[in-house]
Amino acid sequence: MGRLEGKVVFITGAARGQGRSHAVRFAEEGASVVAVDICEQVPTVFYPMATKDDLDETVAMVEAVDGRIVAKVADVRDRAALQDAHEAGIREFGHIDTVLANAGIMPVLNEGEQEQAWFDAIDTLLTGVWQTMEVCLPTMIERDRGGSVLITSSAAGLSSIGLNTTPGTAAYSAAKHGVVGLMRLYASQLARHSIRVNTVHPTGVNTPMIANEPYAAFCAEFPEIAGSPNYQNPMPVPLIEPVDVSNALVYLASDEARYVTGVTFPVDAGYLNR
Ligand SMILES: NC(=O)c1ccc[n+]([C@@H]2O[C@H](COP(=O)([O-])OP(=O)(O)OC[C@H]3O[C@@H](n4cnc5c(N)ncnc54)[C@H](O)[C@@H]3O)[C@@H](O)[C@H]2O)c1
């Protein structure tokens, strides 16, 4: 029997990267998956974002492990679209008990002039997380069987890993810290419903968000930033893999963690303990 048997997880940003890995790992452990992704480029983002083909590939990968999945194109900045995706999940699986607010952008290489990057990052990484929770929580509370909310923050949500001070970098750092505040508020408010709320804080993860040519070129141009000891993991691994984060989330979502709430959980190869 899987560790998440009978659970239904609503995952944002599930078309690729960590979100896809979470969808597959959760399905392997017996969870049904409601997968959401924007599948569209945000103009201030310097690397290519996911496509509908990527989301279809996530569906195929979940089905390949005998998982059940409903996938919807929806932008976490769009409350009505999120609501539609949530309703589709409820129609298919009857309930949702686990929320994984993972969708994100990193519009950090904008050379200081793109103030729009500030708003895009805050809208996606902070407001988008809040909206994801607000859309999912009413039926969880009404069902009265507890549940779990997991928010993907970052090592940048507990410490400065600033590359520069572009508006996008400032917003990324502020939003990743901001979701810790959201987590603490909701963890305290929802405890009486046995709904747990936690954040995870990965170090650099091997996904297209940072494994891309413009980012590699930036690192090569500014070795004093990306190559500095300040920027390295103490454990001998430059980037962790998405599944390393998925495995932590499987634990936090499972009944093994039934009294774990209000926690900032690093998956960071020692980064935050330098
Ligand atoms: N990759 C890293 O080094 C790293 C480190 C720490 C934290 N994170 C965080 O992990 C999360 C997942 O990122 P990833 O590494 O898998 O990157 P990724 O770019 O591979 O995946 C992010 C996914 O989110 C989707 N998305 C973006 N904006 C969206 C929106 N408005 N609505 C719905 N979906 C949207 C994208 O289309 C994409 O599929 C993000 O919150 C990111 O900030 C990443």
- Tell me the per-residue pLDDT of 188-209, one tens digit each, with 9 for 90 and over: 999 999 999 999 999 999 999 9
For residues 168 and 128, is the Cβ–Cβ distance under 8 A?
no
pLDDT single digits (tens) 20-33: 999 999 999 999 99
- Return the sign of the alpha-carbon dihedral for residues 28, 30, 151, 92: positive
Instruction: Give this prediction's pTM.
Output: 0.97
pLDDT single digits (tens) 210-266: 999 988 888 888 777 777 777 789 999 999 999 999 999 999 999 999 999 999 999
Q: Quickly state the pLDDT bin for 165 (edges 50, 70, 90).
A: confident
Q: Which of 47, 172, 231, 271 is catalytic?
A: 172
CB-side exposure of 121: number of CA atoms within 13 Å? 27
Ligand 1 atom 17: residue of nearest CA: 209
For residue 141, pLDDT beyond 90: yes
pLDDT at 213: 92
- Report how far ligand 1's centroid is from the alpha carbon of 95 (Å): 25
pLDDT single digits (tens) 38-48: 999 999 999 99
Length of the chain as a residue count: 274
The reply to whether 172 belongs to the active site is: yes
pLDDT at 10: 99
**Which atom of ligand 1 lies closest to the CA of 245?**
10
Identify the bridge partners of residue 73 per DSSP, sorted by sequence position: 37
Is 42 strand, coil or helix? coil
Q: Which residues line ligand 1 (CB under 6 A)?
A: 12-13, 15-19, 37-38, 49-50, 75-77, 102-106, 124, 128, 152, 154, 202, 204-205, 207-210
Query: Considering only CA atoms, which of 151, 137, 142 is closest in space to residue 184?
Result: 151
Q: Quickly state the pLDDT bin for 114 (edges 50, 70, 90).
A: confident
Is 58 strand, coil or helix? helix
Distance CA 46, CA 115 (A): 14
Measured between its terminal Cα atoms, the distance across the chain in Å is: 39
CATH node for 8-258: 3.40.50.720
By most ligand atoms within 8 Å of CB, the mutation choice from 10, 18, 78 for ligand 1 is 18
Segment 184-190 shows an average pLDDT of 98
- Report how far ligand 1's centroid is from the alpha carbon of 124 (Å): 10
Alpha helix positions (H), the chain: 17-28, 52-64, 79-93, 116-122, 128-143, 167-190, 213-221, 223-226, 242-253
Domain spans in the chain, listed from the N-terminal domain onward: 8-258
